[in-house]
Amino acid sequence: MTSLVLRAHGLGKRYRLKHSTLWALRDVSFDVQRGQMVGLIGHNGAGKSTLFKLLARITEPSEGYAGIKGRLAALLEVGTGFHRELTGRENIYLNGSILGMKKREVDRKLDEIVAFAEVGPFLDSPVKYYSSGMYVRLAFAIAAHVAPDVLLIDEVLAVGDMAFQHKCRTKIKSLGSEGCTVLFVSHDLASVRQLCSTTVWIHGGRVAAIGPTEDVVLQYSQAMLSASQWAGLADAQARPGSGAIRVTNYWIELEDGQKTDVLVTGKPASFVLEYATRAGQTVEGVRLSLQIQNEWGASLLWLHNHMLGHDFGPLAGAGQLRCRIPRFPLTAGSYDVRAQLLLQVGSVVADELETLPKLNVIDGDFYGSGYVRRVENPIFLVDADWSNEAGR
């Protein structure tokens, strides 16, 4: 049976401004069990970093208390606990000491830390010459090898390259299996979904929701969606095309009709575009193309009505164009970073949108087999039939 390792009760932190008081946190309470992986999500300024500073004892709360059992390691900002004039080797000993490690413990783990951080050739160079990515690699390597009971990670992994981020996620999961409690702040909802079983949503300095990660991530996404500006495309003038027909709004819809920017692998999803033709005109032969791309600009899915032999027919005035995918095939990640929406009339470009809201995907049971893919598996899934035949 797991035991309680962290308790935050009624935490509050206020700052005195010139003419008012700002509560960065107010009445925040939650418990975390040993070995639990907990995500913290919320928009910028919600109070997540302030909460971590209270838990790490960097800042004292204005009210309430936080109790932590065991050794704590924290990665709050790039370069925290490092001295710019010291070498990487010297900073390993300095930072390790700050995190509670004895010199002989650092001696024993030095080679592992250096190998994990991949900074061997620069180990005896001052860290002021390190890139931000090298800073993060070394800081994470030290914190991960402290053998902490509680590890706080505040978005710093976003600085590292993709290969190192994957390496860090693997290490975080192994720490959790060894009994380390991890609190992970990130705007990357896919990473939160992959790593954390429980998530806390902080909004306006208060706990807006706490519970199973998938439920809380969907609640957060819906709330952020309702507060975002998905409309207004009709007023955006700086885009190519004849303007004979234009997209005036765009959203992604779940099967129950709710708008979302988070999809679950294997679940139905609909891409909906509202359009308006130029006053008094009717257009025919409209072709709609929607590309879903990864962060390197590679097209993963290309949705095109003409390829499927679908003709929208004559369009006049305002209406909606809809593309439904019965089982969304992409696995966990963030997409539409460079998404392109192209609306054509015949062979003439009528409207083109190169930037749309980012699409986040969390893993689901695509095959209905109870199996959810692991993070290192491919990025999309397809239907397939398996069979076997006896040898002849």
Whether residue 5 contacts residue 33, with contact meaning beta carbons closer than 8 Å, is answered with yes
**What is the extent of the structural domain holding 171?**
4-225
Q: Is residue 356 in a domain? A: yes
CA separation for the pair 185, 148 (Å, rounded): 17
Residue 173 and residue 109 share a domain = yes
Does 249 lie in the same domain as 140? no
Task: Please check whether residues 140 and 170 belong to one and the same domain.
Answer: yes
387 assigned to some structural domain: no
The answer to whether residues 138 and 177 belong to one domain is yes
Q: Which residues of 275-294 are buried (b: 16+ CB within 10 A; e: fewer)?
A: bbbeeeeebeebbbbbbbbb
User: Is position 255 within any domain?
Assistant: yes
Residues 6+ apart with CB under 8 A from 296: none
pLDDT in tens, the chain (392 residues): 467 889 999 999 998 887 888 899 999 999 999 989 999 999 888 899 899 889 988 889 999 999 999 888 887 776 667 898 999 999 999 988 887 888 999 999 999 999 988 889 999 999 999 987 888 888 888 888 888 889 888 876 666 666 777 788 888 888 888 889 999 998 877 778 878 899 999 998 999 999 998 889 878 877 776 555 454 566 666 678 888 888 888 888 889 888 887 888 899 999 998 999 988 789 988 888 888 888 777 888 888 888 888 989 899 999 999 999 999 999 877 787 555 566 777 778 888 887 777 787 877 788 887 776 655 556 788 888 876 888 76
> Is 367 a member of any domain?
no
Residue 301 lies in a domain: yes
177, 206, 225 - which closes a domain: 225
Q: Which residues contact 169 (CB under 8 A, 6 or more apart)?
A: 157, 191, 194, 195, 375
Q: What are phi and psi of 219, to 5 degrees?
A: -60, -45
Smallest CA-to-CA distance from 367 within 268, 267, 266, 264 is with 266
Structural domain includes residue 391:
no
| Domain-ending residue, one of 165, 195, 225 | 225
How deeply is 308 buried, as exposed, middle or buried, from its count of CB atoms within 10 A (0-12, 13-18, 19+)? Answer: exposed
Token pair in block for residue 217 = 């991530």
Q: Is residue 135 part of a domain?
A: yes
Indicate whether 206 and 315 sit together in one domain. Answer: no
**Cα dist. 194→153, 170, 367, 376 in Å?**
15, 10, 18, 11
How many Cα neighbours within 13 Å face the side chain of 143? 30
What per-residue confidence (pLDDT) applies to 263?
A: 85
Size of the chain, expressed as the number of residues it contains = 392
